[in-house]
Amino acid sequence: MKSTIENQVLLETKELSFHYGKKIILDNVNFHVYPGEMVAIVGESGSGKSTLLYILGGFLKPQSGSYTFLGKKVYKTFLSHLGSFRRRHIGFLFQDFRLLPFLSVEQNIRFPVLFGGMELKRERLHALMESLGIFHRRKAFPSEISGGEMQRTGLGRALLSSPQLLLLDEPTGNLDEATEKEILSLLLKLKEQGISLVCVTHSSTIRKASDRVYRMKGHSLTEELPKAPRKKGAQQL
């Protein structure tokens, strides 16, 4: 087998474009993620970041270009099985948590298995809630928990199927600084476990902790290069 860089990426988009009617949202987006990376996507509101995340998650088919995941073209190979593609590979944390108010923390986390036909061991569910620090809140309802706990519950739901890729839409958007740091350290822990993360964010804390950063501008993505090392001071000349 060829050992090109292309074979090593977890996912890759090439010249991806998406529009709503005549309204162009994404134009020629080239993007890739290596296994175990945390990649941030930044950019102004309305620039198309969530749209890209939905495409990567298998929710929205682009009109042109390709999206390859583990060497397979998602909107060709998996087209009639996008649900199973998502269940097997993707965890998605929506911007507004999307917790169901009439279900407890534990039930919200278990929710996808009710429809996904997945098996779920009680020990796995408990270990997941433990690792997210919400085991003691498992019986509480969304109206009774904090923003950070809501986010952890959303993460639990996203992680239930042990995804390789976690897509996060502004995970700390409505959280205070201390809670943001807690969520970031949870994300870094997931990264250590080998999960790849793509995080749409406005947070400079998350951006700085990411391996690479892309900026969405003018319907397209550009990778921001790491800041160059400081120039040598005049005194050294």
- Whether the CA torsion 203, 209, 215, 220 is positive or negative: it is negative
What are residue 122's phi and psi, to 5 degrees? -55, -40
Residue 38 CB, nearest distance to Mg ion (Å)? 18
Q: Which residues pair with 72 in a beta bridge?
A: 69
Out of 12, 41, 42, 50, name the contact with Mg ion by CB under 5 A: 50
Q: Which two tokens stand for residue 106?
A: 């534990």
- Does the footprint of ligand ADP cover residue 167 (CB under 6 A)? no
Q: Is 197 in the site for ligand ADP (CB under 6 A)?
A: no
Report the candidate in 15, 37, 28, 27 with the shortest Cα–Cα distance to residue 197: 37
Instruction: Tell me the closest approach of the beta carbon of residue 131 to Mg ion, in angstroms.
Output: 27
Sketch the per residue contact string, 35 through 64, with ligand ADP: x for CB under 6 A, - otherwise.
Answer: --------x-xxxxxxx-------------
- Nearest distance from C-beta of residue 33 to ligand ADP, angstroms: 18
20 touches ligand ADP by CB under 6 A: yes
DSSP-derived pairing of the beta strands 90-93 and 11-20: unpaired
- Work out how close the CB of 166 gets to ligand ADP at its nearest, in angstroms, rounded to a whole number: 17
Q: How far is CA 10 from CA 7, 68, 84, 172, in A?
A: 8, 8, 17, 25
Q: Nearer Cβ to ligand ADP, position 183 or 221?
A: 221
Cβ nearer to Mg ion, comparing 181 with 202: 202
**Closest residue to Mg ion in the complex (CB):** 50
Residues contacting Mg ion: total by CB under 5 A: 1
**Sequence-distant contacts of 122-125: CB under 8 A, at least 24 apart:** 125/160
Return residues touching ligand ADP (CB under 6 A): 20, 23, 25, 43, 45-51
